[in-house]
Amino acid sequence: MAQTIGARDGDADHTVGTIDLRNRVTAFRFARSERYLTLSLK
């Protein structure tokens, strides 16, 4: 599953990224979960 989100740097709006939900079996049980956010540096 992926979800696009926007992020803002306070003094410049040069970040729009994609967030990926990465839920393995252990993650879904929530012992630990991770999300990845990609940010454009342009």
Partner 1 sequence: MMRKDDFDYAIENTQVILAPEQQIATFGTTSFHFYLISELMDRVDQVRIRNGKIHAERPQILTPEHFSHLLLEGFGDKAQRYADQLREYARNIAVLRYGFQFRKTNVTEETIRDSVDAVVTRTKRRVEDAEEPLSAVIQGVDDAWEVCLLKFTIDMIERSAGGNFGDLRKHGLI
- In whole angstroms, the minimum distance from the beta carbon of 11 to partner 1 comes to 7
Q: How many CA atoms lie within 13 A of 13 on its CB side?
A: 2
- The DSSP output letter for 11 is S
- In whole angstroms, the minimum distance from the beta carbon of 20 to partner 1 comes to 7
- In whole angstroms, the minimum distance from the beta carbon of 32 to partner 1 comes to 5
CA distance 16 to 38: 8
Q: Does residue 26 interact with partner 1 by CB under 8 A?
A: no
- The DSSP output letter for 9 is -
Site residues for partner 1 per CB under 8 A: 3, 5, 7-11, 15, 17, 19-24, 28-42
